Amino acid sequence: MALSDNTSEGRLAASLPGWLKTTLLTLGSIAVTMLGLMFITFVIGRVMPIDPVLAIVGEQASKTTYDAAYEALGLDRPIIVQFAIYVWDVLHGDFGNSLLTARPVADDIARVFPATLELATLGVTMGIVLGVPLGVVAAVRQGSWIDQIARVIALVGYSMPIFWLGLMGLLVFYGILGWVGGPGRVGIFYVDVVPSVTGMILIDSLLDANWEVFKNAFSHIILPASLLGYYSLAYISRMTRSFMLEQLSAEYITTARVKGMSEWDVVWKHAFRNIRVQLITVIALSYANLLEGSVLTEIIFSWPGIGSYITTALLSADMNAVLGGTVVVGLIFILLNIFSDLLYKVFDPRAK
């Protein structure tokens, strides 16, 4: 009977369209990954030597007040029950309330995430526009002075602490030269001048046709975005160079050159075309890392993004905010990986 059931299930699975099976597997993978991420983060939040009850009632509260708050938070229940309740609430879009802001965590994340999205998008765009051509030229001119400069740029990008570069950038370009705006997203006189449509102030100022706000916002974002862009450039250029060197040493490249094909066609129409799929993964990972790992940059430049939000929440024992921010960041990683898989099929028909 069991064999018959298994055979029936196998036939049912085999009868499903390919796109449906792929969709079900993808959704299952997302669910399992997110559940694992939420469970690990939830457990860490519960075993950390930080008491969320004291963060609410204060250290001078009586035992009766403490116990009442302890039960109200559901901390008297088994941890697996607490986790099940949390997952159920998250599935309904409820991440709980923040202890710091007394607002729903979902609303806080919706407020701070566009700032990080704007900063990371501008940074990774700089990394792509500068890093890809630099890596290609360095590979084509292997051993030349251009290659040496590209390798030094990548090495410095990996080696220098981001907080030191941020502080030096503020000192030189803001404090001494005055070329850029200071910390924050805009000057104090431009706060809430344009209506918030997307939450990204550059786009909102363009939609409002307020060029003065756009100019001021750009002067504030250009330095932190350039800092993130430099780290993205270092990673992307290094990987592009490595991928291109592998392709340029292949036999089909030698054959193309022997046939008299121009160097431009050899490099860009043949070698570079074959590394596009690999670059998709590199760029997606770089973008995800900027969205998630720009904590120090946001703190140095007083940038009100999700990185600084999670850090402040962690230091204040606001575990609802920490858990909510972590879930959002994890979901971003997963979605970017899925997006890169979809792009594989666009650039490489063999992946279909």
- pLDDT in tens for each of the 352 residues of the chain? 444 455 554 554 555 566 677 777 777 877 888 888 888 878 877 777 677 777 677 777 777 887 887 787 777 788 888 888 888 888 888 888 887 888 889 899 999 999 999 999 999 999 999 999 999 999 999 888 988 998 898 888 878 888 888 889 889 999 898 888 888 888 888 888 888 888 899 999 999 889 999 999 999 999 999 999 998 999 999 999 999 999 888 888 888 888 888 888 888 888 888 888 889 888 988 888 888 767 888 888 989 888 888 888 888 778 888 888 888 888 888 888 888 777 777 766 555 5
Q: Where are the alpha helices (DSSP H) in 209-318?
A: 211-248, 251-258, 263-264, 276-293, 295-300, 306-315
pLDDT for res 14: 54
- Between helices 276-293 and 105-140, what is the axis angle to 10°? 140
Q: Which residue has the tokens 């307020």?
A: 210
Q: Which residue has the tokens 């309904």?
A: 92
Element (H, E) at 138: helix 105-140
pLDDT for res 214: 93
d(CA 116, CA 221) in angstroms, rounded, equals 11
For the chain, domain boundaries: 19-91, 105-351
CA dihedral over 25, 28, 34, 36, signed as positive or negative:
negative
d(CA 81, CA 55) in angstroms, rounded, equals 23
Structure tokens belonging to residue 349 = 């028909």
Provide the 8-state DSSP code for 266.
I
Cα–Cα distance list, 225 to 13, 153, 161, 202, 291 (Å): 48, 17, 16, 13, 12
Is residue 227 within 8 A of residue 166, CB to CB? The reply is yes
Is residue 66 within 8 A of residue 289, CB to CB? The reply is no
d(CA 135, CA 16) in angstroms, rounded, equals 44
Quickly name the fold that domain 105-351 has: MetI-like fold (1.10.3720)
pLDDT for res 29: 79
Cα within 13 Å of Cα(94), Cβ side: 8
pLDDT for res 17: 66
State how far Cα 47 lies from the chain centre. 27
pLDDT for res 189: 85
Task: Say if residue 128 is exposed, middle or buried (CB neighbours under 10 Å; 0-12, 13-18, 19+).
Answer: buried
To the nearest 10°, report the CA torsion of 330, 117, 151, 162. -90
Task: Say if residue 80 is exposed, middle or buried (CB neighbours under 10 Å; 0-12, 13-18, 19+).
Answer: exposed
Is residue 298 within 8 A of residue 112, CB to CB? The reply is no
d(CA 208, CA 201) in angstroms, rounded, equals 10
pLDDT for res 297: 87
